[in-house]
Chains A and B, each alone.
Chain A
Amino acid sequence: MKPAKPWRKALVYFYLTVLAAVFLLPFFWMLSTSLKGSEQIFTYPPRWIPRPVRWQNYRDVLTTMPFVRYLFNTTFITVMSIIGVVFSSSLVAYAFARLRWKGRDSLFLFIIGTMMLPAQVTMIPVFVLYKHIGWLDSFKPLVVPLFFGGGAFNIFLMRQFFLTIPQELSDAARIDGCSEFRIYWSIILPLSKPAVATIAILVFMMQWNDFLGPLIFLSSKGKGTLALGLAMLVGQHTTEYGMLMAASVLLLIPVVVIFFLFQRYFVQGLMMTGIKG
């Protein structure tokens, strides 16, 4: 290949920079507004840099919504979900990737097929079911189902990874009298850290950001999540943009921190799913 012409390279950089500005500007605008008082927020033309920097909005968020409580709730739901999905999807995927049994391949196709079913169809009967067994306004509806298989997509992902681990490893362990569960637990799972990390990130994103689930299943104020709390703030304080932006920043910080810590797995997850709807 010929080396690129310098003017071409300059043009590429120009486009890259303009687009980077477009993608980063909303974040900057959010951060900037969160540090302004209303006299700076409602000025025209807009002022990009807050002067003076004002922290009051953050204090207002902490007093207007039970932020620490919501943070705890959201973290609890997210962590439990990750545990549920990782263990149950890997257990099921193990049977599909590493064991031989009748009907394996057709059942696997069936599981893949269940991905096509939209959640709306099952949402209402599931809600009624939870109501009858007294699970509404608890975290159970958001967490417990994930301990039962962890979702078709995650089973699929786990299986594909397990298939890449040489079968001889299992055979050697079997000859040494190792039980299948032991092989799963002490050999296959520890070798699957990249897959586990990718799935953990996907579940983290899904649960940390989930809105519809908490909206339907949680009703009392102390049980809320961060996403639910922010949505309530939007409803009540649409005009107090400083506080709304401060709350948005607080919701984003953990995601962004984890994002930069585990960027590789985020990229893997995004490459496989594009993540959001």
Chain B
Amino acid sequence: MSSTERNRTSLVTRLRHSQSALAYLFISPWVIGFLVFGLYPFAASVYYSLCQYDVLRVPKFIGLRNYRDLLFHDPYFWKAIYNTLFYTVLRVPLNIAGSLLLAVLVNQSVRGIRFFRTAYFLPSVVSGVAISAIWMWIFNPQYGILNALLEMVGIQGPSWLGSTTWAKPALVLMSLWSIGGGRMLVFLAALQGIPAQLYESVAIDGGGKWRQFTHVTLPLISPVLFLWLIIEIMFSFQIFTEAYVMTQGGPLNSTLFYNLYLYIKAFDDFQMGYASALAWLLLLMTLAITIVQFRLSRRWVYYEA
């Protein structure tokens, strides 16, 4: 190395080492934002959850009473948990399986495939409120197209959103339409990362399409499947807009979801302490489910060495 080159290298090293102060300056917006919009509300939320607080008066400390009331004296809380779990258990597997199948289908190299992909993920860019408006009309029991189409195959459709049995499945059906295409693209990216040789080697061993899918595709995309399982559950737990706009929790509280109940307690009843306790229980539940998932994942998620 010539001496000029060495000088040059050490100059770069020195320049790089003097960067600490500057770096703190660059990240200062995030630091301020985190303290004001993250850490402070996080701590305040713990405190509020231990208070009776209607925003107008100062919070009054009441210990764990909010939690006790929620767990032992609030039937709506359990109703909301039941509804949310029901919705999640129905939506998550259907959504993941559906969007994976969709991804496998659009992974074919046929002419015009881009048109089909576009058609499938177009609903993913539409807002929750517009989706709610459109589907309220589709679900209309007398004049909606869904029941008209069912009639054509000889089925008498239910009154969907007006029925305690069908309101939750109706919202699941709508979610398949509205997010399936977005999820499809996530899986498509994963599918396209699988080397073709792996399929060929299964084919040489005499394996058919199904064997290729279960022995190559599924193991190789299992990390993506796992990630989406976690995210899907979190999203399902947070359903709000559709229920707020379409059913207001009805009929007979059959679509009173956790987040909707939290919103009602906080912003209709102004029971901020109670709602904060609800938020904390939500966090604890999602955390518990996520931890269990990570434990279980060791049995089925395959990471390439």
User: Which residues of A come within 8 Å of B, CB atoms?
Assistant: 1, 9, 12-13, 15-16, 19-20, 22-27, 29-30, 33, 41-46, 88, 91-92, 94-96, 99-102, 104, 107, 111, 114, 116-118, 120-129, 131, 145, 147-149, 155, 171, 174-175, 180, 184, 205, 208-209, 211-212, 215-216, 227-228, 230-231, 233-235, 238, 241, 244-245, 247-248, 251-252, 255-256, 259, 263, 266-267, 270-277
Contacts and interface: CB of A to CB of B under 8 A. Distances in A.
Contact of A248 (B15, B45, B134, B151): B134
Interface stretch (B82-90, B280-288, B297-305): B280-288
Nearest to A174: B15
B280 A30 contact: no
Given A149-B30, A277-B235, A27 B122 contact: yes
A41, A94, A129, A248 — most chain B CB neighbours (10 Å): A248
B206 interface: no
B186 interface: yes
B128 interface: yes
B276 to A, nearest CB: 5
B201 interface: no
Interface of A is mostly: helix
B257 interface: no
A205 B182 CA distance: 13
Given A95-B23, A99-B26, A100-B19, A266 B123 contact: no
In the complex, the 6 A-B pairs of residues with the closest C-beta atoms, listed nearest first: A148-B33, A209-B127, A149-B30, A277-B235, A95-B26, A125-B44
Given A147-B29, A148-B30, A149-B30, 16 more contacts: A24-B122, A118-B283, A121-B279, A147-B33, A171-B15, A209-B130, A211-B245, A259-B122, A270-B181, A271-B188, A273-B186, A274-B186, A274-B228, A275-B179, A276-B124, A277-B238
Interface string B244-270: 111000000000000100110011000
Nearest to A247: B133
B38 to A, nearest CB: 6
Contacts of B62: none
A12 B235 contact: no
Contacts of A111: 30
B136 interface: yes
Nearest to B286: A118
Contacts of A117: 38, 42, 283
Interface residues of B, number: 100
Contacts of B41: 121-126, 129
A228 B133 CA distance: 12
A155 B118 contact: no
B172 interface: no
Given A33-B137, A148-B29, A245-B134, A276 B178 contact: yes
Given A114-B38, A148-B36, A149-B34, A211 B128 contact: yes
A48 to B, nearest CB: 9
Nearest to A96: B27
A120 B259 contact: yes
B148 A251 contact: no
A150 to B, nearest CB: 8
Interface string B131-164: 0111111101011010010010000000000000
Contacts of A15: 105
B116 A19 contact: yes
Contacts of B3: none
B37 interface: yes
A19 B42 CA distance: 44
A121 B42 contact: yes
A122 B234 CA distance: 16
B276 A241 contact: no
A259 B117 CA distance: 14
Contacts of A129: 40-41, 44
A264 B133 CA distance: 28
Interface string B195-223: 01000100000000000000000000000
Contacts of B280: 121
Contacts of A12: 105, 108, 110
B226 interface: no
A100 B21 CA distance: 10
